[in-house]
Structure 1
């Protein structure tokens, strides 16, 4: 008896000690992990992780960067959605601190009313927004590095997918504050035409095109003479607009520039309105441009005699006869046309391409090829000269190819030269030839280059994206599509580092309940089918009533006959039946959604305890077997 009591006491002490040890271990594990820097992003699109490009940039900073995050976290009236958004921003900023190993410091400031923090927020230009309670709240970032300062005055939750790009772009820019150089080669008068010079094929124009004026606000813009034989190495980005009949020497210069790792933004066109003179005949061969030899070396091709017709994305235009029509060759790209994973195009809503071509990858090409803007599936390539035949003729002869065509593409890689035999031979003087011989000829790329090619040059012309007016003596310009935004985004990306070019739009933060959406879609289809049936029934009843009315004499027209009464009663009964069925559709939809919800709740509530119970029972049986074996 004493032995048994001693055993029970010993067992009780062991159990109590074991529980105490487990409790201590649990506390220690929690303390250790609270200080640990282990990070695990379990999201499908890794939306809380920094990309490799960002990690490279922040780990090689020349100057330490301080990020001041101003947001009104203590405001009790802060909308719930904004609270969650600012929490995600703060967590994401901590990833920059961690990846930079101390080179990036994040400071969080709460600009309360009449506080020093609010005064600093206003000095930094932070933009306050007023919420429903009447309070002003702040949510912005300030970036400081040495004597450089930039800010995001108001963080936009709708741009959350581009948050990494926005932050990394500014960090990179304040490390290299000097203005980037953009060189422009164009056979169009994009820099304007001097008053005393009027080319025979161009209307008089003295002012530069609008995009040139806008780019000069941010970049050093240089006009490159078509006679040059070498692109200066100080050019950070080369823009080529409508390269019509470029001489071989200039094409060679472009080739060698790309092989040194130079990036380029190229606009070619199968039918360039901006290159047509006012008196040009309607059915003349359209002015086109291409870089066939260079394109072949870069692994792409475009047939400059073919234009794209897209019935999914037409544009409403006015013809020469002042008639309005939807033209399929004037492509208004929107929605699914844009590559959502590319930071250049992910936020664009609409672009206009007046008679564009189509670009495609050469099958043997090994270079990276990514479509950025595409046509709809109801599209085809037509002879460019047919553009002049009118919309009616185009639609009559249209045969869809059933595929999407590329209007804008990005190509990247270490390219090979388009001139394997060396510089092209010309009729220049010997001195020019000696100078050319002195230049090192590159057959293979030294660095990776990125090219963005657009199969339309007219999109750069003012009339296709901007409206100008005068107000109180000032010129006011209003853009009506995203053509200029595309150019700005592409220029910003291509003048940045290779790491910045590689950034992509982050995944979606909103995870829609796809099962419920699918149920609603099916119910909507059933609803529409019943609604169409009701409309058909109404039309049928009205038709029968009219027929019965016409059978009457003139004197009986105002009197409802028994046949008409029967027909009306029949229709009302049919209408009630269809309404009952519509109600049943709604009822079934709610029931399906509730059933799905209950199923998921049941899984969430009972599945885990069930699994733990099964595991516990299994472990208990396993221990009993081991004890019996002893």
Structure 2
């Protein structure tokens, strides 16, 4: 008896000791985990992790930055999507603070109404958004370093994929506050009066809007097309419609790129902004060529061809005061843009008056780029497009329609090329075409045969997209001239310039995936229903056309005295059409009804899985464990 009591006591003691030890182990593990600061990003797109480019910029910080997150946390009327997005932003900002080695200080501020925090938000220019019947919501960022500050006035959930780039580029700008320098080589009068390309006999015009906008941010320099050398310290080179450029200038561009300089180049198979008159101007306004350097960069654009895109045409007014769809004026929208690249991720529409097709040349890797070569299309035509002769395009849309055959594939209108290139002039600098032009002084400017470092080039197949009329509408508002942008042409240039004047780490950033995941099963159901709907709608339109044709035929067969009288045949045809229309409308309603039923069935199935699956799994595990334990006891 005593032995049994002793045994029970020992078991109880061991159990209590085991529980105490287990408790102590759990406490120690929690303490160690808190100090270890171990994090694991299990999201598909690594949405809570910083990219290598951002980590490089944070690692190179020399000045501390304070990030102030103004968010109306205490507002009870915040929509659910804003609340979820703000939580993700907060987690993301904590990653910046963790990766910055103490160089980023994070402040969470709730600007309550009538508080000091609200006044600070107003001083920083953060505009609150008014909700329906509730208090306004503030959700913005202020980043400060020394006496400099930058703001993101409103954190828009629809632009979540650009969040990392926006924050990282601001941090980089605060660390590097000096103004960047942009040089422009052009055959167009973009700088205003007295410039090459200005039309004779016309009054001098102002600089183009894109030049004025760039001057607000950058030091903009006009580079003469006769220069033998381009300053390698330029932060960005822009080449706009390089018409009749000399080989010497092409060599200068080649050497600038090999020095590691980035460039944005606007080509054009038919530049309507260069000259406009009659057919005598065709040869002057067509054909830009940088064939030699393009070959070294692994790309090609046939200057005698342009893209006609019937999938993305532009509605234009003709001389007969009617409208027609012009496939040569491409209105790029939606899926035309590369959503993975920072430059085009947030763009919605662009207009290309006459654009060429850019393609990657075969066999380039062995001959041109030493390493790190990449070719990426940023903006494409639709699949319903083809390349056509420029002269045919010059003659008008009717000529294009006559023998248009779709290539059934997209063409690249804008591309991004990056690599460590070889020179396009392996035999040395070319001789000057003009005897009065001095040759390149190779003692002061020795030729680079291989690039010092990788360069990034953005090649655009249309230069007219920079002309004011193709992205700006002007209005007179109480005596003031007001300009309003109607597409993203200028935003594209702004994005390209900002990215290419930054560090290589910024250039390497990609747009991030969105945290919100669409219900793909429901989207697939809706897409299938929409296809059925469109088929029925096409059937209805076809029947309307057939009925109208029959009614017109019956009308033509009448005598002149019966023109105002509806014949029995016409009455029968109209009655037949009405019956068919009722049947099709009934079928359309059935499509909608079936769609709702399918979605409800899917929802009920998922709800049942969520409610019963976990208890079922637990029950199965419990039964298996009970059977296993019972068998173990029987063996004993």
TM-score, length-scaled by structure 1:
0.89
Change (3 A) 1:429 1:411: same
Q: Choose which of 491, 498, 504 in structure 2 pairs with 1:492.
A: 498
CA distance in 1, matches of 2:568, 2:418: 79
TM-fit CA distance, 1:576: 8.0
Match of 2:456 in 1: 450
Contact 2:189 2:197 in 1 (8 A): no
TM-fit CA distance, 1:361: 0.5
TM-fit CA distance, 1:629: 8.3
Change (3 A) 1:544 1:437: closer
TM-fit CA distance, 1:566: 11
Q: Choose which of 576, 599, 609 in structure 2 pairs with 1:593.
A: 599
Contact 1:209 1:462 in 2 (8 A): yes
Task: Give the unaligned 5+ runs of structure 2.
Answer: 366-372, 559-563
Match of 2:83 in 1: 83
Deviations 1:551-578 (CA, angstroms, capped at 9, x unpaired):
99xxxxx999999999999999988877
Contact 2:228 2:439 in 1 (8 A): no
TM-fit CA distance, 1:281: 2.9
Match of 1:175 in 2: 175
Contact 1:202 1:277 in 2 (8 A): no
RMSD: 3.9
TM-fit CA distance, 1:40: 1.6
CA distance in 1, matches of 2:486, 2:588: 42
Match of 1:163 in 2: 163
CA distance in 1, matches of 2:439, 2:583: 90
* Structural mapping, 1:249-398, within 5 Å: 249-278=248-277, 280-281=279-280, 286-366=285-365, 367-398=373-404
Contact 1:202 1:275 in 2 (8 A): no
CA distance in 2, matches of 1:493, 1:359: 21
| Residue 238 of structure 1 pairs with residue 229 of structure 2 | no
TM-fit CA distance, 1:99: 1.0
My pick for the range that moved more, 421-430 or 396-405, is 421-430
Contact 2:312 2:382 in 1 (8 A): yes
My pick for the range that moved more, 531-540 or 382-391, is 531-540
Contact 2:336 2:379 in 1 (8 A): yes
Contact 1:325 1:391 in 2 (8 A): no
Deviations 1:215-272 (CA, angstroms, capped at 9, x unpaired):
1111000001112111113310000001112112211111111011100000011111
My pick for the range that moved more, 27-36 or 513-522, is 27-36
Change (3 A) 1:436 1:470: farther
Contact 1:285 1:385 in 2 (8 A): no
CA distance in 2, matches of 1:296, 1:546: 61
Give the 3-state SS of the residue equivalent to 1:273 in structure 2: coil
Contact 2:41 2:49 in 1 (8 A): yes
| Residue 100 of structure 1 pairs with residue 100 of structure 2 | yes
Task: Give the unaligned 5+ runs of structure 1.
Answer: 553-557
Change (3 A) 1:629 1:219: same
TM-fit CA distance, 1:626: 7.7
TM-fit CA distance, 1:393: 2.1
Match of 2:410 in 1: 404
My pick for the range that moved more, 410-419 or 564-573, is 564-573
CA distance in 2, matches of 1:548, 1:427: 75
Contact 1:203 1:277 in 2 (8 A): no
Paired residue total: 629
Contact 2:237 2:263 in 1 (8 A): yes
Give the 3-state SS of the residue equivalent to 1:274 in structure 2: coil
CA distance in 1, matches of 2:174, 2:87: 25
Match of 2:368 in 1: none
CA distance in 2, matches of 1:567, 1:318: 38
Change (3 A) 1:382 1:624: same
Q: Choose which of 484, 489, 495 in structure 2 pairs with 1:483.
A: 489
Deviations 1:491-541 (CA, angstroms, capped at 9, x unpaired):
111111111111111102221111122123333444555666778889999
Match of 1:555 in 2: none
My pick for the range that moved more, 427-436 or 605-614, is 427-436
Give the 3-state SS of the residue equivalent to 2:442 in structure 1: helix
TM-fit CA distance, 1:184: 0.4
| Residue 423 of structure 1 pairs with residue 422 of structure 2 | no
Contact 1:93 1:106 in 2 (8 A): yes
| Residue 508 of structure 1 pairs with residue 503 of structure 2 | no
Change (3 A) 1:311 1:563: closer
